[in-house]
Amino acid sequence: MNTNEQGANAPSADGFGALGLHQALVSAATALGYEEPTAIQREAIPPLLQGRDVLGQAATGTGKTAAFALPMLHRIGEVAAREGPRPVRGLILVPTRELAMQVAEAVHKYGRLLGISVLPIYGGQSMQQQLRALRRGVDVVIATPGRALDHIRRGTLELKAVEFLVLDEADEMLDLGFTEELEAIVAEVPAERQTALFSATVAPRIRTIAKRYLRDPAHVTIASQTAAPGKTFAIREVAYAVQRAHKAAALGRVIDMETPASAIIFCRTRMEVDELTETLGAHGYQAEAIHGGLSQEQRDRVLRRFREGTSEILVATDVAARGLDIEHLSHVVNYDVPSSPDAYVHRIGRTGRAGRKGVAITLVEAREHRLLRNIEQHTKRKIRVESVPTVLDLRTRRLELTRAALEDALAAGELERYRVVVESLAGEHDVLDLAAAAVKLLDQRDGSEKDDLEIPVAPPLPSAKVQPSGPRQRLRAQDATKLYIGLGRAAGIRPADLVGAIANEARIDSRDIGAIDITERFSLVEVPASEAKRIISALRGKSIRGKKVSVRPDRGR
């Protein structure tokens, strides 16, 4: 399609219309809820519309599919009124079955108003079904390399009319060993085609195939996600220093503290995936394993249960997780520190999408500290290192969740039938004692009476100060002041004791408590400057661990 056809394109003043796309594509994007192009879309769509090849570097979740699919559909144009066999004019190669299905669904939605037909072809699907669709004629094929080459050799996939070729997740296709298949497939596509190659990383081998397949490409690089000035990075990144022997227990403790809605835990090996899944299952977590040793039917079943919410945790290897696009993923956990910074960026990019907040957690052994430093240098972000939460941290967290559940119940109302029980007991017991007993029962039901054991504290990582566990140091320096508390290690004081006392007595959100420094005889705690006097007053005469506490502003000694 000629991009100068003003009647068809009629770009709007902003959004996708300003990029010069066909109006039907703009309408499709709007109908799907897309308001503004993402960075990769803003950078890649214009050169592709101009007919240039593009080498794009962007991680999963940045909007790559629309970045190449919309220009491809724009070029193919309206086809609904055409008669006779329709040859394949667009070919998208992807590494996995899951990604083929996801991309095909997206391309179908984008091109529906133009009457464009789309077919995914991949292993594990009926060959006869694919053959029937190819005989009828399709405009765009989304294929895994192995199945595409199988069709080419059978003579059932004709590529001589292809005008637009996309190699999506090219680095992963190479990782999966598809180099020879790619060469054979590209050899069947006309040399005068337009080509787009997208990859999460642009390593030397990617540059090699880009040089082979692309002609004078426009280079588009979307840097690792960083916070815009004045805005908070959407993904909270935290690392926990752990000892190898206590790693599984530490993971369970962190999961209990975080209570993820849905999480992926990355492991290095299949054996580690299976062992960790079994361990998590034995402790009551709804966890499922996914790795290369599973059949396609098993993989589909695992993913269906995860998407439906039957399971809440996927334990996966990197290879098995490739091509998975799961919405609303709340947490990503690195059971081991990724050896490549790019792998870390790719993994955590699966959470915190579409403006939502996400959490990236990494368990770090002392021997892995250099890998963590490499990631920080690559992302230009400091990753906070904490010690594993204590039993007291966990019990405090459970009480917080119990309180939140009670507040929800109060807000929901419909308590009349329970008032009878309360009224019958109120004449014999103090109302506060009665409420406390109810809270105790609810807390015990949720598992606070489990036989929790302390997890030994790991030595601090070299060149990294391990912070106390919990959501500390949210304060900016100019907003905080330090309080001197006259109890320290000699009195058995731990960070959770101080947080619990301040949060409960002064009604301060525990997340507003900053750095905690515990010495042998005293402790220093950062608190909001505006709340310092109230905290001192609230703690006056109170006890922590059975000992009276003295609190005053720190004098900087």
| Residue 11: per-residue pLDDT | 37
Do 42 and 186 share a domain, yes or no?
yes
- Rounded Cα distance between 166 and 329, Å, is 27
- The torsion angles phi and psi of 287, rounded to 5 degrees, stand at -115, 145
* 54-63, 176-185, 338-347, 441-450: the lowest-pLDDT one: 441-450
| Residue 333: per-residue pLDDT | 95
Do 250 and 153 share a domain, yes or no?
no
Q: Which residue has the higher pLDDT, 367 or 476?
A: 367
| Residue 529: per-residue pLDDT | 85
- The torsion angles phi and psi of 466, rounded to 5 degrees, stand at -80, 125
- Tell me the three state secondary structure of residue 467: strand
157 in any annotated domain: yes
pLDDT at 1 over 60: no
Distance of CA 260 to the CA centre of its chain: 11
| Residue 54: per-residue pLDDT | 95
Do 346 and 288 share a domain, yes or no?
yes
pLDDT at 325 over 70: no
- Rounded Cα distance between 265 and 85, Å, is 47
| Residue 187: per-residue pLDDT | 94
| Residue 446: per-residue pLDDT | 54
pLDDT band at 468 (very low <50, low <70, confident <90, very high): low
- The torsion angles phi and psi of 172, rounded to 5 degrees, stand at -75, -35
Average pLDDT value over all residues in the chain:
81
Q: What's the mean pLDDT in 283-309? A: 84
Do 111 and 156 share a domain, yes or no?
yes
| Residue 478: per-residue pLDDT | 47
Q: pTM for this structure? A: 0.51
What CATH number does the domain containing 285 carry? 3.40.50.300
* Cα torsion 520, 522, 528, 531: sign: positive
What CATH number does the domain containing 489 carry? 3.30.70.330
Range of the structural domain that residue 377 is part of = 235-389
Query: Which candidate, 46, 122, 57, places its Cα nearest to that of 342?
Result: 57
pLDDT at 223 over 70: no
Highest mean pLDDT among 14-28, 154-168, 265-279, 523-537: 154-168
Query: Which candidate, 296, 244, 248, places its Cα nearest to that of 275?
Result: 248
472 in any annotated domain: no
- Rounded Cα distance between 169 and 188, Å, is 20
Do 275 and 415 share a domain, yes or no?
no
* 10-14, 99-103, 420-424: the lowest-pLDDT one: 10-14
Domain count, the chain: 4
Highest mean pLDDT among 184-193, 422-431, 458-467: 184-193
Alpha helices in 427-494 (DSSP H): 431-445
pLDDT band at 60 (very low <50, low <70, confident <90, very high): low
Angle between helices 431-445 and 391-412 (to 10 degrees): 110
Residues 5-14: tens digit of each pLDDT = 333 333 334 5
Do 402 and 511 share a domain, yes or no?
no
The token pair at 264 is: 């992926």
453 in any annotated domain: no
Match 């750095």 to its residue by tokens. 515
pLDDT at 249 over 50: yes
- The torsion angles phi and psi of 215, rounded to 5 degrees, stand at -115, 115
Do 88 and 138 share a domain, yes or no?
yes
Q: Which residue has the higher pLDDT, 334 or 357?
A: 334
pLDDT band at 490 (very low <50, low <70, confident <90, very high): confident
- The torsion angles phi and psi of 180, rounded to 5 degrees, stand at -65, -40
pLDDT band at 436 (very low <50, low <70, confident <90, very high): confident
- Rounded Cα distance between 250 and 155, Å, is 55
Q: What's the mean pLDDT in 94-111? A: 88
pLDDT band at 144 (very low <50, low <70, confident <90, very high): very high
Q: Which residue has the higher pLDDT, 444 or 334?
A: 334
Last residue of a domain, which of 367, 389, 411? Answer: 389
18 in any annotated domain: yes
3-state secondary structure 353-381: CCCCCEEEEEEECHHHHHHHHHHHHHHCC
Taking CA atoms, 471 is separated from 71, 236, 422, 538, in Å, by 44, 10, 36, 22
The token pair at 538 is: 């609230």
Do 249 and 304 share a domain, yes or no?
yes
Do 341 and 412 share a domain, yes or no?
no
Which residues pair with residue 239 across a beta bridge?
362, 385
The token pair at 403 is: 């309180």
Do 404 and 335 share a domain, yes or no?
no
- Rounded Cα distance between 351 and 234, Å, is 9
Do 208 and 322 share a domain, yes or no?
no
Residues 185-199: tens digit of each pLDDT = 999 999 999 999 998
- Rounded Cα distance between 213 and 488, Å, is 66
Q: What's the mean pLDDT in 265-275? A: 88
The token pair at 556 is: 């900087």
| Residue 548: per-residue pLDDT | 85
Do 256 and 377 share a domain, yes or no?
yes
